[in-house]
Amino acid sequence: MTQPPIAPRIPVVHRLHGIERIDDYDWMRDPEAARETLLAERRHYAAETAHLAPFQQVLTAKMAGRTPETESSVSWRHGAFVYYTQIETGREFGDFFRKRDGSDPGSVLLNLDELAAAGYVELGVREVSPCGRFLAYSVDTSGDEVYELRFRDLDTGDDLPDRVPGTYYTGAWSADSSSFFYTVVDDCYRPYEVRRHVLGGTEEAVVLTEPDRRFEVTVEATRSGAYVLITAANRDTTEVWLVPAATPEAEPRSVRGRRPRVEYRVDHDATNDRLIITTDDGWAEFRVLAGDDDLIAPNEGERVYKTDCFAGYIVITLRRGGEPLLRVVPLDGTGPWEIHPETTAGRIELVHNHDYDATEILIETGSYSEPTRWSTVNLATREREVRKTAETPGYDPADYVSERHWAPAQDGVLIPVTVVRRRDVPLDGTAPCLLYGYGAYEAVFDFVWDAPLSVFLDEGGVFAHAHIRGGGELGRAWWQAGRLAAKPATFSDHVAVASWLEDKVSAIATRGLSAGGLLMGAVYGMRPWSAVIAEVPYVDVVTTMLDDTIPLTVNEWEEWGDPRKPADFAYMLAYSPYDNIPKTDTPLLVTGAVNDPRVLVREPAKWVAKLRAHGANVLFRVEVEEGGHSGPTGRYAHLAYEAEIYAFVLDALRASPGARV
């Protein structure tokens, strides 16, 4: 074993609401001051996991073997062209293609490997203009999620001289393809303003500024092409404005204003020239309005998420009893009908449906054990036709099973749990388990087949996903039951699922990312684990939520609470992992990234330093160069990262008493 880095202790006293908190590692808020410590942590991690390197290489090779040498996406139509992406043998990122029908061999619109500086690239927007000649795309080459917006002439393949730095996600073209709407961020990485760029122009027009720091803005075009939609949203309130796409200079018009704790989203039914609104106004789990009237009566037990308008049809995305489905509502007055996943514990969603006049929709389905499948559904005949199934070399779905179970929480509430395993791996207490959790923001993590997970299953492991309170799998009420003062229910739910698993598996490790990393920190000392993996964990809850100069503070108060208020401070302090260091020697792997704008690297760095000062068995895998919130982005770099995580997990599980794997 090598000696771990020992970070200097420089006490700073924080006083609030009559309570003193001593923070020995507050100095780490300065990334330059912390850099040598972070480099030492990365060296220590490399040394302490060196014995796993051969195993990591084996796992990486198996994962790569489950990945086709050339990966192509399903193709989709947008106007006169068909588009698709493809990653060729040996490539990390691949190309964005388009072609006409028939024998057209197609052409490369974007080569992402050429855009990757130092091996990292992420696209923020990728929007083809209505005329089909121009491509608006934005690039992040460091991982900080701030993008440079660029424009490419697809007739020549050359970029225009127009470049706009400091942009963020989402964008929309004007109807005549002469200008592009986009968002920019403030000093706290909040998308606060919508601007409009005229091709060939040198000045950016401000379209709308959101002054309330609790709100973020997005911009998108309606499928009908009639409007550009601007949405300002926080955790439970929205406001939407319309700009006619044919007159992009027009002032934005608010659709329904802004009322506290009322959300709504908007789409345009061009067939009847009316707005379709999805809102929780008058129905907590959301309803669909045509004007002021229900398009279809809301149902108990259903959570409506969004609507998509097509010529003659409206498609509603919803969940019922935790299961996803689509409801098609014909506008000719005939009754609605539904589209479901093909498998148990499966997912379904609309993808790449750009044309309003389309007579069929493209859907994506799959599960943890079933590779992704793309199908078209004819809206008139209801006929469903498989277009493409993801290639998964060496993988036979028949050898694996995904199951939905329900585990009792401490208060008797039943928690949905998805369990994935090989069919020849029984739930009889002989196989070890990796338990995954998140439980925040009403987020729903539907189930995507994953080569690294399939290799873990082949190693004899069981994977369980706990859909705990704070997430959105059971709707808005499920989120409300695990946010703000009710946040501890998220943690106790996760532990309850582990308790439910105890007689079914031999050992349990657990993993979570970001808000899921907070979950890992909170449950770290609540029960015996074989290992805990906390990726980019949000763990210094009170300090972070008191600092309104950093990203994701002011607009997060509606999720976690505002510690300037005594009651909020009390419940947040009671669970904040940084302020509640447990006595445990459970192996803990923490990750972080210097360029991460969502969870600043100082949070995991401070937590690791404090844990180590209390004798914890902790390693810190920190990205000190390029890399973002979710780790490496290239397909092989991502596989290598996952192999590191799974090697750590399997090594810990195999070392657990009674484990057989």
**What are the residue boundaries of the structural domains of the chain, listed by start?**
13-63+395-654, 141-262, 301-391
Rounded-to-integer distance, Cα 231 and Cα 240, Å:
4
Is the pTM for the entire model greater than 0.75?
A: yes
Torsion of CA 387, 391, 396, 401, to 10 degrees: -70
User: Can you tell me the mean pLDDT for 73-80?
Assistant: 94
Phi, psi dihedrals of residue 296, rounded to the nearest 5°: -150, 140
pLDDT tier, 632 (very low <50, low <70, confident <90, very high otherwise) = confident
User: Can you tell me the mean pLDDT for 41-50?
Assistant: 97
Measured between its terminal Cα atoms, the distance across the chain in Å is 25
Rounded-to-integer distance, Cα 325 and Cα 365, Å:
10
SS3 assignment for 188-237: CCCEEEEEEEECCCCCCEEEEECCCCCCEEEEEECCCCCEEEEEEECCCC
β-strand 462-466 against 508-513: which pairing, if any?
A: unpaired
Task: Return all residues near 541 (Cβ < 8 A) that are at least 6 apart.
Answer: 518, 560, 572, 573, 575, 576, 577, 578, 579
Q: What pLDDT is attached to residue 103?
A: 77
Q: Is 269 a catalytic residue?
A: no
β-strand 274-279 against 264-269: which pairing, if any?
A: antiparallel
Q: What pLDDT is attached to residue 658?
A: 56
Tokens of 44: 């220590």
pLDDT over 70 (residue 660): no
Rounded-to-integer distance, Cα 471 and Cα 644, Å:
27
Residue 54: count of CB within 10 angstroms of its CB: 10
C-alpha closest to that of 575 among 509, 524, 621, 618: 524
| Residues 276-322 pLDDT 10s | 999 999 999 999 999 889 999 999 999 999 999 999 999 999 999 99
Contact between 93 and 81 under an 8 Å Cβ cutoff? The reply is no
| Residues 221-259 pLDDT 10s | 999 999 999 999 999 999 999 999 999 999 999 999 999
Tokens of 224: 């009908």
| Residues 133-181 pLDDT 10s | 999 999 998 888 999 999 999 999 999 999 999 999 999 999 999 999 9
User: Can you tell me the mean pLDDT for 271-276?
Assistant: 97
Rounded-to-integer distance, Cα 479 and Cα 468, Å:
9
Rounded-to-integer distance, Cα 657 and Cα 4, Å:
26
Any bridge partners for residue 227, and if so which? 244
pLDDT tier, 186 (very low <50, low <70, confident <90, very high otherwise) = very high
Cα–Cα separations (whole angstroms), residue 433 to 52, 420, 437, 524, 526: 20, 10, 13, 16, 17
Radius of gyration (C-alpha) of the chain in whole angstroms: 25
Of 142, 402, 514, 656, the active-site residue reads 514
Residue 573: count of CB within 10 angstroms of its CB: 17
pLDDT tier, 2 (very low <50, low <70, confident <90, very high otherwise) = confident
pLDDT over 60 (residue 659): no
Contact between 509 and 533 under an 8 Å Cβ cutoff? The reply is yes
Handedness of CA 234, 238, 244, 245 (dihedral sign): positive
| Residues 224-233 pLDDT 10s | 999 999 999 9
C-alpha closest to that of 526 among 490, 556, 557: 490
Rounded-to-integer distance, Cα 421 and Cα 5, Å:
38
User: Can you tell me the mean pLDDT for 344-373?
Assistant: 96
Instruction: List alpha helices for 466-513, DSSP H.
Output: 476-480, 488-501
Tokens of 331: 């506008």
DSSP at 431: S
Rounded-to-integer distance, Cα 236 and Cα 207, Å:
24
Count of CA atoms in the C-beta half-sphere (13 A) of 461:
24
Name residue, tokens 């014995």. 51
| Residues 561-574 pLDDT 10s | 999 999 999 999 99
Tokens of 581: 């260091």
User: Can you tell me the mean pLDDT for 606-623?
Assistant: 97
Q: Quick one: 141-262 is in which CATH superfamily? A: Prolyl oligopeptidase, N-terminal domain (2.130.10.120)
Q: What is the mean pLDDT of the chain?
A: 95
Torsion of CA 11, 15, 20, 25, to 10 degrees: -30
pLDDT over 80 (residue 117): no
Q: What pLDDT is attached to residue 657?
A: 67
Question: Of how many residues is the chain composed?
Answer: 661
Amino acid (1-letter code) at residue 432: P
Q: What pLDDT is attached to residue 202?
A: 85
Q: What proportions of the chain, in percent to the nearest 5, are helix, strand and coil?
A: 20, 35, 40
Rounded-to-integer distance, Cα 234 and Cα 259, Å:
12
Of 268, 465, 629, 638, the active-site residue reads 629
Q: What pLDDT is attached to residue 194?
A: 98
Q: Is 144 a catalytic residue?
A: no
Q: What pLDDT is attached to residue 432?
A: 98
pLDDT tier, 401 (very low <50, low <70, confident <90, very high otherwise) = very high
Contact between 651 and 80 under an 8 Å Cβ cutoff? The reply is no
Contact between 367 and 460 under an 8 Å Cβ cutoff? The reply is no
**Which CATH code for domain 13-63+395-654?**
3.40.50.1820
Of 144, 540, 562, 596, the active-site residue reads 596
CA 218 to chain centre: 16
Q: Is 629 a catalytic residue?
A: yes
| Residues 495-533 pLDDT 10s | 999 999 999 999 999 999 999 999 999 999 999 999 999
Give the 3-state secondary structure of residue 25: coil
pLDDT over 70 (residue 661): no
